[in-house]
């Protein structure tokens, strides 16, 4: 099996490449130095020349707030570029694993979203472009996996855990949103699942997060500071009080039960994942200091 990973310098792409190396699977981790996603011809030439059996498409426009002002660019990177990659995969008969997001759903009721739910109503531009990308993949290909995940944290990128740890060093009080509910996902754990998936032909939509209780960003922050032994007071605020440019869904709860039904292992508990990540974070910071 020969695998091409896009966005290999991002959190998930980085973790996927490390796991492919660990499993001795032939692969190439592509970045913008190899091809620009919005240069469709360059993208096609690179992928066709490499001729992978599988493309794991992790690259995306993820600046959720800035996307409200850069709608055209966000659509081009997330939707049009993904459609192009799906067309290329069809041309070379490659599997495509597309990494999507909880933001495709919007709010709805308070129940966890099922993997095959079509009740999608994104509340921001980022979510809309990712949903449109999902539809193009489904329309073009038969050999596809669409993986919706949430609250990703990992090495080699910005994430909520890193932000909390940096802010917590210099602040004794932080305001964190308490009315957006979901589950964190450790990129390393998700990467192992994605590689298990591409070894199969169990195509379709899946939700994938770490297991454990659903929590708010406020509760997640409290657990980060507890495990990191930071003495920080966390104040609960509503999304309306916090006032970001782009709306966020209040219900980001993803039902992951389809994983076991398809024979895949669920991810470990998110508190355990956080503990493992903090050990790596601490080691990396000691190494760099």
Closest CA to 6 of 60, 48, 44, 49: 60
C-alpha 124: how far from its chain's center?
16
Whether 126 is a known active-site residue: answer yes
DSSP character string of 91-117: HHT-EEEEEEEGGGT---SSSPBPTT-
Tokens representing 169?
Answer: 């060093």
Q: In degrees rounded to 5, what are phi and psi of residue 56?
A: -105, 105
Secondary structure of residue 282 in the 3-state scheme? helix
Closest CA to 208 of 270, 267, 277: 267
Contact 99, 205 (CB under 8 A): no
CA distances from 210 to 12, 37, 71, 214 (A): 14, 29, 30, 10
DSSP character string of 116-149: T------SSHHHHHHHHHHHHHHHH-SSEEEEEE
The CA angle 220-225-228, to the nearest 5 degrees, is: 120
Catalytic residue among 61, 75, 103, 126: 126
Catalytic residues, by residue number, are 126
């Amino acid at each position: 099996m020969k695998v091409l990973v896009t966005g290999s310098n991002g959190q998930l792409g980085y973790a996927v490449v490390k796991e492919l190396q660990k499993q001795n699977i032939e692969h190439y981790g592509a970045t913008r130095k190899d091809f620009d996603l919005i240069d469709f011809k360059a993208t096609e030439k690179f992928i066709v020349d490499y001729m992978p059996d599988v493309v794991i498409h992790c690259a995306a426009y993820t600046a959720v707030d800035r996307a409200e002002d850069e709608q055209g660019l966000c659509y081009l990177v997330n939707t049009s570029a993904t459609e192009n990659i799906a067309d290329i995969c069809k041309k070379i008969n490659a599997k495509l694993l597309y990494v999507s997001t909880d933001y495709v759903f919007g709010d709805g009721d308070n129940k966890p979203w099922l993997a095959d739910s079509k009740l999608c109503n994104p509340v921001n531009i980022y979510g809309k472009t990712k949903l449109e990308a999902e539809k193009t993949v489904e329309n073009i290909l038969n050999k596809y996996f669409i993986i919706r995940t949430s609250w990703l944290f990992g090495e080699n990128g910005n994430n909520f855990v890193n932000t909390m740890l940096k802010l917590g060093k210099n602040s004794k009080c932080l305001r964190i949103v308490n009315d957006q509910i979901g589950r964190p996902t450790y990129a390393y754990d998700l990467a192992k699942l994605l590689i298990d998936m591409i070894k199969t032909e169990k195509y379709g939509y899946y939700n994938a997060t770490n297991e454990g209780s659903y929590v708010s960003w406020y509760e997640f922050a409290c657990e980060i500071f507890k495990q990191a032994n930071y003495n920080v007071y966390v104040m609960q605020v509503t999304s309306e009080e916090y006032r970001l440019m782009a709306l966020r869904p209040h219900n980001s709860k993803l039902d992951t039960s389809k994983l076991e039904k398809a024979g895949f292992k669920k991810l470990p508990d998110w508190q355990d994942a956080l503990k493992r990540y903090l050990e790596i974070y601490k080691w990396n910071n000691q190494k760099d200091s």
